[in-house]
Chains A and B, each alone.
Chain A
Amino acid sequence: MILKTFIKEIKELSRESRVRLSLLIVLLLLGVAVFISSRQYQQVNTQYETATQSERANWDNQGEKNPHSAAHYGTYAFKPKYPLSLLDQGVDKYTGTSVFLEAHARNEARFSAAADQTGLARFGDLTPDFILLFLIPLLIILLGYNSFTKEREMGTLTLLKSQGISGWRWMLGKWMALFVPIFLIAFLLFLIAGFVLSGLQDFGAFSWKALFAMFAVYIVFYAVFINIVLIISASVKKSGISLVSALGIWILACLVVPKMATNIAQAKYPYPTAQEFAANILADKEKGLDGHNPWSEESKKLEKEMLEKYEVDSISQLPFNFDGYRMQKGEEHEAMVYFKHYNYLKEQYAKQTEVYQSMAAISPFLPARFLSMSIAHTDYETHWNFNDAAEQYRINTQKFLNDHFAENSKFGDWSWQADADFWKKLPAFKYEPSNLKQTLSQNNGNIVLLGGWLVLSFGILLFVVKIK
């Protein structure tokens, strides 16, 4: 009965022009979106490669220079575009792609794609994740809103019941008729994306396993949506009411709840404004050692400590250049200040994430969206981790430069210059995002929520289609 119902439903769907047209439109849009995204992915990564090489060449070829001048000259850490961003661009567009690494200051990632666009960008982009997360659920509604109501409206339900139909088998046949086409569309998209990505320069980051995990997330999300659409269709009497109700749920789950979650999260756990954030950092910086100010109280205290430790009378007798040492200690104090304030931001972000997860109880869209972005490495978590890695690299770079200055020059000799070959000894910046196993374990909550939605919605569906 399950197979017979499945075949019957597929035949009916395939013979309806609205269904054929909708499938064609979705497939066309997917094709265009994948093409545009893969072009963008290639362009961004080419730019990344060019910028990384060019910036490193600038650094390596500074010539003879004082290390602290080089520290102020600075360098850049660039964020690559990860392969699965081809499918889910997440928040990539709104986060910066490069961090300027310099002495004394932790800078924000800058040059986001959104900043380069005009106001028209507010209308959104045609990306695969837009189709996967918004249009395919709409397609499910279009295919399934009248799955049960049509039987009542056409009058076929009477004959079906007289034939002794089994409710759950009938439902499974209808469920499969919705699931299989959606599964095939998603499978085709992910397969094409997999082949496109495996053929592109991806810095070894592409993994079929991660692609499969992302595919599984979307399949579960669609199964939940199919359940919801069928629950509505089995519960109401008219197709029109079913369509309006399903669209209402789509608007609520995919549009309203995510925006509501953002508003609630921001209201409950606000970030400081950029001005407040900068002022707080400056205030804390001023409470500690300034590497450039040898007359400050903290500097004098450090000087005294060193003189006592090395049992000498003046800083010029120290076995290292105290200027370089003080500079490094100043960096360490500033790094701690930045760590404290950025940690506060991260704590706020973690609390906001908890709000999002609690809202996921009323929208399966949220856990699916977070899982997808996380696997694609286009979420805020990845952005934070990249910024942290860039900051750690900045701290290490400053230490590398200050130590060299302190160990190789004399106190007061600001004209001392490091060799031209010295810069090449600085290791290159490398950032490895979390692997799939780590990503999934960080998203246990979202996995449980999405799984919960699947089990609960399927249980309700079984309950509502039970026919005597």
Chain B
Amino acid sequence: MITTQNLTKKYGDHLALNKLNLTVAEGNIYCLLGANGAGKTTTINLLLGFVQPTSGSASINGIDVTTNSREAKKYLAYIPENLMLYPNLSAMENLDYFSGIAGKSLSKTQLKAFLAEAGLQNNAFEKRIATFSKGMRQKVGISIALAKDAKVLLLDEPTPGLDPSASNEFGLLLQRLKEKGVATLMATHDIFRAREVATHIGIMKDGQLKQQFVASEISLGDLENAYLKTMDYKNALP
């Protein structure tokens, strides 16, 4: 479960995040929509403990990330927009290492199973990451998240650069994690993908959460209009 209370982050005079109150319950997928600079990535970085909030609090599974970041990280997995892995190591070796860092010791069979679950082709398991496309790297990243067996998944723009089938596979995977009770927070620009996979959607602007929706209660068209209006876009389609 993810909770933030009046979470605020200032960089000098710039207010990057303004009193964010957010809850993502177990088995929910919360998509944060917003233009660049809206505060989506700042929210994720605060939850990861990479930056300290100016005020307010945030917790992962009830653990305060500002005071006990390392403990909170045991319960979360993170996939950034540009997932970077070790180019001279194979997919198996990367998965083995990153899982090892999280304290997991996996057998070869388990490593292969996680890579397969993430949708990576069998013949790519032993290949070096240097030869992988962005989509293949994302799949290895997903396998790292799966292997961690995290209760919380943080995704920062995970789908740009993926081909439609990889993007669809990614959506299906999120659904499977949702069924396992994983709480997912995904920052994205992709309204269509958000409407497809999310249980809840929030629209951010200027560091504030402007609107929230239950995904099943809003159509794609209404969501798009709501987004454009929030962004003060004048040429929205009727």
**Which A residues fall within an 8 A CB radius of B?**
1, 4-5, 7-8, 11-12, 15-16, 154-156, 158-166, 170, 468
Chain B, 67-97, CB within 8 A of any chain A CB: 69-70, 73-74, 76-78, 80, 82-89, 93, 96-97
A163 touches B73 (CB 8 A): yes
**B74 — which chain A residues lie within 8 A by C-beta?**
164
Task: Decide yes or no whether B192 CB sits under 8 A from chain A.
Answer: no
Bound Cα distance A106, B93 (Å): 71
Bound Cα distance A5, B97 (Å): 7
- Determine the residue in chain B with the shortest Cβ distance to A2: B100
Bound Cα distance A164, B87 (Å): 21
Task: Decide yes or no whether B53 CB sits under 8 A from chain A.
Answer: no
A468 touches B101 (CB 8 A): no
Chain B, 141-158, CB within 8 A of any chain A CB: 141, 144, 148, 154
B101 touches A156 (CB 8 A): no
A8 touches B97 (CB 8 A): yes
Closest 9 pairs between A and B when the two form their complex, measured CB to CB: A155-B84, A4-B100, A164-B73, A162-B78, A163-B101, A15-B88, A163-B102, A8-B97, A154-B84
Give min CB distance, B141 to chain A, whole Å.
Answer: 7
A164 touches B102 (CB 8 A): yes
Task: Decide yes or no whether B213 CB sits under 8 A from chain A.
Answer: no
**A468 — which chain B residues lie within 8 A by C-beta?**
49, 69-70
- Determine the residue in chain B with the shortest Cβ distance to A150: B86
Bound Cα distance A112, B87 (Å): 55
Give min CB distance, B41 to chain A, whole Å.
Answer: 11
Bound Cα distance A156, B101 (Å): 12
Chain B, 49-79, CB within 8 A of any chain A CB: 49-50, 69-70, 73-74, 76-78
- Determine the residue in chain B with the shortest Cβ distance to A16: B88
A11 is contacted by which of B50, B69, B88, B102 (Cβ under 8 Å)? B88
Give min CB distance, B5 to chain A, whole Å.
Answer: 21
A156 is contacted by which of B77, B86, B102, B103 (Cβ under 8 Å)? B86
Bound Cα distance A8, B101 (Å): 11
Give min CB distance, B82 to chain A, whole Å.
Answer: 6
A164 touches B89 (CB 8 A): no
Bound Cα distance A102, B9 (Å): 88
**A12 — which chain B residues lie within 8 A by C-beta?**
86, 88-89
B83 touches A159 (CB 8 A): yes
What are 9 A-B pairs at a CB distance below 8 A?
A: A11-B89, A12-B86, A12-B88, A159-B84, A159-B85, A160-B98, A162-B78, A468-B49, A468-B69
- Determine the residue in chain A with the shortest Cβ distance to B49: A468
Q: Other than the known A1-B100, A158-B78, A468-B70, what 9 A-B pairs have Cβ atoms closer than 8 Å?
A: A1-B101, A7-B97, A154-B84, A159-B85, A159-B98, A160-B98, A160-B101, A161-B48, A163-B98
A8 touches B83 (CB 8 A): no
Chain B: interface residue count, which band?
20 to 34
Give min CB distance, A28 to chain B, whole Å.
Answer: 25
B84 touches A156 (CB 8 A): yes
Bound Cα distance A31, B48 (Å): 51
**A159 — which chain B residues lie within 8 A by C-beta?**
78, 80, 83-85, 98, 141, 144
**B70 — which chain A residues lie within 8 A by C-beta?**
164, 166, 468
Bound Cα distance A12, B85 (Å): 12
- Determine the residue in chain A with the shortest Cβ distance to B101: A163
**A8 — which chain B residues lie within 8 A by C-beta?**
86, 89, 93, 97
B86 touches A164 (CB 8 A): no
Among B74, B80, B88, B96, chain A packs the most CB atoms within 10 A around the CB of B88
Contact indicator per residue, chain B 32-53, by CB within 8 Å of chain A (1) or not (0): 0000000000000000111000
**A16 — which chain B residues lie within 8 A by C-beta?**
88
Bound Cα distance A215, B193 (Å): 63
Bound Cα distance A432, B161 (Å): 76
A162 touches B73 (CB 8 A): yes
**A11 — which chain B residues lie within 8 A by C-beta?**
88-89, 93
Give min CB distance, A413 to chain B, whole Å.
Answer: 90
Give min CB distance, B147 to chain A, whole Å.
Answer: 10
- Determine the residue in chain B with the shortest Cβ distance to A14: B88
**B89 — which chain A residues lie within 8 A by C-beta?**
8, 11-12
Bound Cα distance A1, B101 (Å): 5
**A163 — which chain B residues lie within 8 A by C-beta?**
73, 98, 101-102, 144, 148
Bound Cα distance A161, B154 (Å): 13
**A161 — which chain B residues lie within 8 A by C-beta?**
48, 50
Bound Cα distance A1, B74 (Å): 14
Give min CB distance, B112 to chain A, whole Å.
Answer: 18
B86 touches A154 (CB 8 A): yes
**B83 — which chain A residues lie within 8 A by C-beta?**
155, 159
Contact indicator per residue, chain B 97-127, by CB within 8 Å of chain A (1) or not (0): 1101111000000000000000000000000
**B148 — which chain A residues lie within 8 A by C-beta?**
163
**B154 — which chain A residues lie within 8 A by C-beta?**
162
**A158 — which chain B residues lie within 8 A by C-beta?**
50, 78, 80, 84
Bound Cα distance A11, B102 (Å): 20
Bound Cα distance A159, B82 (Å): 10
**A5 — which chain B residues lie within 8 A by C-beta?**
97, 101
**B76 — which chain A residues lie within 8 A by C-beta?**
162
Give min CB distance, A390 to chain B, whole Å.
Answer: 60
Bound Cα distance A337, B87 (Å): 73
Give min CB distance, B134 to chain A, whole Å.
Answer: 12
Bound Cα distance A8, B73 (Å): 22
- Determine the residue in chain A with the shortest Cβ distance to B141: A159
**A156 — which chain B residues lie within 8 A by C-beta?**
84-86
- Determine the residue in chain A with the shortest Cβ distance to B87: A154
Among A1, A155, A156, A159, chain B packs the most CB atoms within 10 A around the CB of A159
